[in-house]
Structure 1
């Protein structure tokens, strides 16, 4: 026990306090106790000085240091009164908290229903996907967010919502879209997401009002590769995104790319390199082994990344009507490389002839 390095207790409905004896685990480097019903003071010495707010978020009544984004501990309350107060709060907080959440969700839900399939105000509509629509919203403090409302007429929407909540609760990276919170009732499910003001990579590729230069494209592709590297090898549980494409690559104000939409993602078990599944993968970005046997692995995402690279530099979708029969995007680019890369690369991104050499190297890799 004393040599323990990783302890993940999140999503286990654990109640009570965090034992101070855990401070003695000097080898403990990774600790998660989020999404439980813990209360009391968060230990503040030993290995706990290295843990962040992410380790303790979404709990019942934890208190501690401001750096952990927890409420301050009221140590000045007499012991006797403290016990009585905590006993009362155990009943008061859940009741009032539940009422507030239910009322808030009903208000949001009614606004959504009043617009029928249009969702919230049409002016705030950002886009739609396989399982619902996304709208722009503003929190009480003025923070802009994206609200993804699931279409519960679709059976797959329930599973997609559960997957996104589970996956995004386990991962955190600068190149992944952050889930701020999940909202769920019997007939309403939504995710509140970090807002990406520059929109999707798809918008920049296929809109006449937007244009990317070579340096921006390379930086975006590096950001996406960094996100995949983290999902596959940097998180506690390997995650396969399963649906990497331009519409799921979102850009912030600084044109930094963030990978989003984990609705069909798969968590690989410890030691697993692949999994057989019937996930709904987007045609054109799907690895051959999935199409033949329904097998997904981290290599599936790598294949999709190669298609994404080719699409970004050619501005041609893998589902383009040009590709039929045996001719697909991969074969088209490979054939063109020997005859001259300039025949397939979008000319608007090339400023100097020397840049074709850089692009050819990248396309060879793709």
Structure 2
């Protein structure tokens, strides 16, 4: 782990080892973890902060997959393992069940199980791990980050996973899926932010498909998420609220989003 150096991966400073005691000394993360920031009543992350955090996480996982002679699979990506420093830069940590693929290998078998809800289907059912397992977990974390819904919430059952819910809800519009405080109709940039969240959720669905081979590569995820962020910032900078802004009382948010997308094609 000390050989893995990346701005978005928790730094291993040193290790302590004896017959009775083993420990890693890690870099201090003053803003705790994404789990607490998302679900605590004392914290709120705005849309830009959430996008930045998920770009950081994607960059870390992409480095694990492509930045070494053989891919490293984290195997347990979840909000609790995403730590934030004093500048709110995200760092991926907890490599307790990480796997190193052999040269030329695309997958391996393991008896170790990851966290329910974030674990890819093939990992949970057959113990098959590959870089695509991390992509799946990332997709689930992406959904949770913008909806504040956990994959283990009672709302979801065996036949209704968080992904199934997102797939069926997304066509109704971002206002149906986003965390309540994240997307407010009175916000001047409501439509711009709604379109941003819809694009991110489409990306999340493409990361968390049932079949591993249909999931995106993390390299492409990083590129796409950065484009989504830049589009959001450009629209806000240039005041592109929406060309039908004066008619928001007559037109539903979902219709406005649809019309806005058509106007940009």
By how many angstroms is 1:315 displaced? 0.4
Instruction: Report the Cα distance in structure 1 between the residues aligned to 2:98 and 2:20, rounded to whole angstroms.
Output: 23
Query: Is the counterpart of residue 319 in structure 1 residue 152 in structure 2?
Result: yes
Equivalent positions of 1:42-61 (< 5 A) are none
Correspondence for 1:41: none
Higher relative contact order (CA 8 A, sep 6+): 2
Secondary structure of 1:205 counterpart:
helix
Instruction: Report the Cα distance in structure 2 between the residues aligned to 1:247 and 1:194, rounded to whole angstroms.
Output: 16
Tell me the C-alpha RMSD between the 2 structures.
1.0
Instruction: Report the Cα distance in structure 2 between the residues aligned to 1:292 and 1:267, rounded to whole angstroms.
Output: 20
Secondary structure of 1:254 counterpart:
coil
Correspondence for 2:83: 250
Hey, which bits of structure 1, 4+ residues long, moved more than 2 A? Answer: none
Deviations 1:232-266 (A, max 9, x none): 00123310000000010001111110000000000
Query: Is the counterpart of residue 363 in structure 1 residue 208 in structure 2?
Result: no
Equivalent positions of 1:153-164 (< 5 A) are none
1:249 and 1:258 in contact (8 A); partners too: yes
Correspondence for 2:190: 353
1:337 to 170, 185, 188: 170
2:11 and 2:27 in contact (8 A); partners too: yes
**Runs of 5+ consecutive residues of structure 1 not aligned to the other structure:** 1-167
Secondary structure of 2:114 counterpart:
coil
Secondary structure of 1:182 counterpart:
strand
By how many angstroms is 1:339 displaced? 1.7
1:278 to 88, 108, 111: 111
Query: Is the counterpart of residue 216 in structure 1 residue 53 in structure 2?
Result: no
With the length of structure 2 as denominator, give the TM-score of the two structures. Answer: 0.73
2:113 and 2:123 in contact (8 A); partners too: no
The answer to which structure has the higher strand fraction is 1
By how many angstroms is 1:299 displaced? 0.1
**Runs of 5+ consecutive residues of structure 2 not aligned to the other structure:** 205-265
Equivalent positions of 1:159-174 (< 5 A) are 168-174=1-7
Query: Is the counterpart of residue 196 in structure 1 residue 29 in structure 2?
Result: yes
2:120 and 2:137 in contact (8 A); partners too: yes
By how many angstroms is 1:271 displaced? 0.9
Secondary structure of 1:250 counterpart:
strand
Q: Max radius of gyration: which structure?
A: 1
Instruction: Report the Cα distance in structure 2 between the residues aligned to 1:357 and 1:231, rounded to whole angstroms.
Output: 30
Instruction: Report the Cα distance in structure 2 between the residues aligned to 1:325 and 1:269, rounded to whole angstroms.
Output: 34
Count, aligned residues: 199
